């Protein structure tokens, strides 16, 4: 391992530690992430030739074109990262439009419960199911918006929000379209829809239910006090649209989000294109409704809840934090660190795939699970039979561990990063209160998968 590689690792670890201690340093995590991104790639560009020769052996680059090729790699990774960022911004904007225009009001009424624990179970199961249909990122945003309508105590809401992270990641792990990593494995033909649903559903469910059983003891009493605290402080104090118009906005917004996987399948375009298409439709519909409202009541056309005004509500610090983290991890990928870690795990555990995938799951709570899964897909060949066959133990466990493992740290998944920004949950609070609970559920899921493959599905479906 070269000096430059070690330097890049040191920069990443130092940046990660500063992000983890944000509550102590009082430095915004987005600022640290951007500095980490810049420092890692600056070090990479000191001598990119040594990394290009190792990671891209089939590409012949002339000495005077090394810097250009390095810049090309950065732009390619930025393009991959941008698809996630635009998806995130589009989804956040859609949910904000639906929320501010009263689209979630009827959902709030359905979800209401006198008991805090009763509400917790409703939120947990709804998040679990929705994340299998949508993706864990979009589901988390939707559920946080609903949660804000129901719980005004920030202390209680952090507990609910933590369960939303766990439930969203667990729900996405058993569905071929529920998480980026399962989509990758499914598209590559390493898992099948029937196989992953039938064999990962129970482990995923346990990884949600067990933490919920523990977290319910942190919630006591009813939520009447919290609801009573809402005295017109919300932007929803005066609904500008009728009940039917609010339901139309909800149907277009949430229905559009659910349609994105279908859009991706039908057109072959990346999911962010579907999100932007839905945003364009919803924006157009609300503009028409506001134009009608202006003709009806007169006055200024600059309504506070128009999309052009709501765009300022998008949390750009979360977007920039996501940019910094993903691009810094991309640098680790380009210097071969992730690949070396994967190979080292395989050697260290003598090919024990439960141990290897279990460790990959733990690592996915530290770095992004997408490059980890991508590296694993490139490292291990598919064989006709055994653990490495289609729907074999390794690939199914990889889908489970990479998805659910991200719940152990709040920055270990897209859902966690978004919730962290929306609810202002600190890394330290989550690690102290939630990480060990998520870990118990994670291990229980692996144990249940072992029992299923040992005694029930001894061979893949």
User: Is residue 291 in a domain?
Assistant: yes
Q: Higher-confidence residue: 412 or 124?
A: 124
- Whole-Å CA distances, 324 to 279, 317, 421, 429, 442: 25, 10, 14, 22, 27
214 in Cβ contact with 166 (< 8 Å): no
Q: Which residue has the higher pLDDT, 376 or 238?
A: 376
Residues 403-429 have a mean pLDDT of 85
pLDDT at 236 over 50: no
Task: State pLDDT tens for residues 261-284.
Answer: 788 778 888 888 988 999 999 999
Query: Residue 370: what pLDDT?
Result: 65
Residue 179: give the domain boundaries: 95-222+242-312
Token readout for 412 is 């270990």
Residue 390 has pLDDT above 60, yes or no: yes
Distance of CA 439 to the CA centre of its chain: 18
Length of the chain as a residue count: 461
In a domain? residue 184: yes
Mean pLDDT is highest, among 16-25, 177-186, 214-223, for 214-223
pLDDT of residue 235: 43
User: Counting beta carbons within 10 angstroms of the beta carbon of residue 450, is it exposed (0 to 12), middle (13 to 18) or buried (19 or more)?
Assistant: middle
Q: What pLDDT is recorded for position 196? A: 85
Q: How far is CA 136 from CA 113, 277, 418, in A?
A: 24, 20, 10
pLDDT digits 0-9 by tens, 73-85: 999 989 888 887 8
Asked if residue 378 is part of any domain, the answer here is no
Mean pLDDT of 99-110: 73
Query: In terms of pTM, does the model score above 0.85?
Result: no
Residues 6+ apart with CB under 8 A from 40: 8, 11, 12, 327, 328, 331, 332
Region label for 221, one of left (φ > 0), alpha (ψ between -120 and 50) or beta (otherwise): left
Higher pLDDT among residues 320 and 63, named by residue = 320
HSE-up of residue 323 (Cα within 13 Å, Cβ side): 19
**Rounded CA separation 67/63 (Å):** 9
Q: Answer whether residue 409 is part of any domain.
A: no
Mean pLDDT, range 388-413, rounded to an integer: 86
Report, as an integer, the average pLDDT of 434-448.
94
Q: How confident is the model at residue 1 (pLDDT cuts 50, 70, 90)?
A: confident
The average pLDDT across 399-406 equals 90
The residue-averaged pLDDT of 11-27 equals 83
Asked which of 4-13, 253-262, 302-311, 420-429 is least confident by mean pLDDT, the reply is 302-311
DSSP 329-385: HHHHHHTTHHHHHHHHHHHHTTT-HHHHHHHHHHHTTTS-HHHHHHHHHHHS---SS
Lookup result for tokens 């804000």: 148
**Mean pLDDT taken over the chain:** 82
Instruction: Report the pLDDT value the prediction gives residue 8, as an integer from 0 to 100.
Output: 93
Q: Which residue has the higher pLDDT, 54 or 341?
A: 54
Domain assignment present for residue 237? The answer is no
Mean pLDDT of 369-386: 68
Reduced to 3 states (helix: H, G, I; strand: E, B; else coil), residue 326 is helix
Q: Which of 233-247, 284-298, 321-335, 438-452 has the highest mean pLDDT?
A: 438-452
Query: CA-based Rg of the chain, rounded to a whole angstrom?
Result: 23
Q: Flag whether 84 is in a domain.
A: no
Instruction: Give the residue with greater pLDDT, 356 vs 110.
Output: 356
Find the helix or strand (DSSP H, E) in which 310 lies.
helix 307-310
Inter-helix orientation angle 136-150/414-423, to 10°: 30
What percentage of the chain exceeds 90 in pLDDT? 23
Least confident segment among 4-8, 237-241, 403-407: 237-241
How many domains does the chain contain in total?
1
Q: Average pLDDT in the 155-175 region?
A: 91
What pLDDT was estimated at residue 132? Answer: 84
Alpha-carbon distance 226 to 461, whole Å?
48
- Mean pLDDT within 11-38: 86
Whether 5 is in a domain gets the answer: no
Q: What is the pLDDT of residue 400?
A: 93
Evaluate whether residue 259 is within a structural domain: yes
pLDDT of res. 226: 44
pLDDT of residue 61: 81
pLDDT of residue 27: 87
Query: Residue 327 pLDDT more than 70?
Result: yes
pLDDT at 434 over 90: yes
Give residue 93's pLDDT: 86
């Amino acid at each position: 391992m070269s000096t430059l590689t070690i330097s890049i690792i040191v920069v990443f670890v130092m940046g990660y530690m500063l992000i983890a201690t944000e509550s102590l340093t009082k430095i915004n995590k987005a600022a640290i992430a951007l500095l980490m991104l810049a420092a890692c790639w600056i070090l990479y560009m000191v001598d990119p030739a040594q990394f290009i020769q190792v990671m891209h052996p089939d590409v012949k680059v002339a000495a005077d074109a090394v810097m250009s090729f390095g810049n090309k790699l950065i732009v390619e990774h930025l393009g991959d990262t941008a698809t996630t960022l635009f998806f995130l911004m589009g989804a956040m904007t859609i949910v904000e439009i639906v929320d501010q225009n009263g689209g979630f009001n009827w959902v709030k009424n359905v979800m209401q419960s006198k008991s805090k624990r009763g509400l917790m179970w409703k939120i947990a199961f709804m998040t679990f199911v929705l994340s299998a249909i949508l993706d864990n990122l979009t589901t988390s945003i939707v559920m946080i918006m609903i949660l804000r309508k129901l719980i005004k105590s920030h202390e209680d809401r952090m507990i609910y929000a933590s369960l939303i992270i766990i439930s969203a990641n667990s729900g996405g792990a058993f569905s071929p379209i529920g998480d980026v990593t399962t989509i990758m494995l499914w598209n590559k033909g390493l898992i099948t829809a029937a196989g992953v649903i039938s064999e990962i559903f129970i482990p995923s469910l346990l990884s949600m239910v067990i933490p919920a059983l523990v977290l319910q003891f942190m919630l006591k009493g009813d939520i009447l006090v919290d609801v009573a605290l809402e005295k017109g402080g919300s932007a929803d104090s005066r609904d500008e649209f009728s009940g039917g118009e609010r339901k139309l906005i909800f149907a277009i917004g949430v229905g559009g989000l659910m349609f994105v996987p279908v859009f991706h399948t039908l057109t072959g375009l990346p999911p962010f294109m579907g999100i932007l298409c839905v945003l364009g439709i919803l924006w157009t519909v609300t503009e028409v409704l506001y134009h009608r409202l202006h003709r009806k009541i007169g006055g200024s056309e600059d309504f506070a809840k128009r999309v052009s005004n709501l765009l300022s509500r998008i949390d750009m610090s979360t977007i920039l934090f996501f940019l910094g983290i993903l691009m810094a991890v991309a640098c680790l990928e380009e210097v071969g660190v992730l690949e070396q870690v994967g190979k080292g795990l395989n050697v260290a555990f003598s090919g024990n795939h439960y141990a290897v995938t279990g460790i990959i799951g733990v690592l996915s709570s530290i770095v992004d699970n997408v490059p980890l899964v991508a590296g694993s897909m490139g490292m291990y060949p598919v064989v006709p039979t055994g653990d490495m066959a289609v729907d074999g133990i390794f690939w199914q466990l990889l889908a489970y561990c990479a998805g659910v493992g991200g719940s152990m740290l709040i920055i270990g998944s897209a859902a966690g990063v978004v919730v962290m920004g929306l609810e202002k949950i600190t890394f330290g609070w989550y690690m102290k209160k939630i990480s060990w609970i998520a870990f118990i559920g994670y291990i229980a899921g692996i144990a249940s998968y072992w029992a299923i493959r040992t005694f029930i599905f001894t061979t893949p479906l």
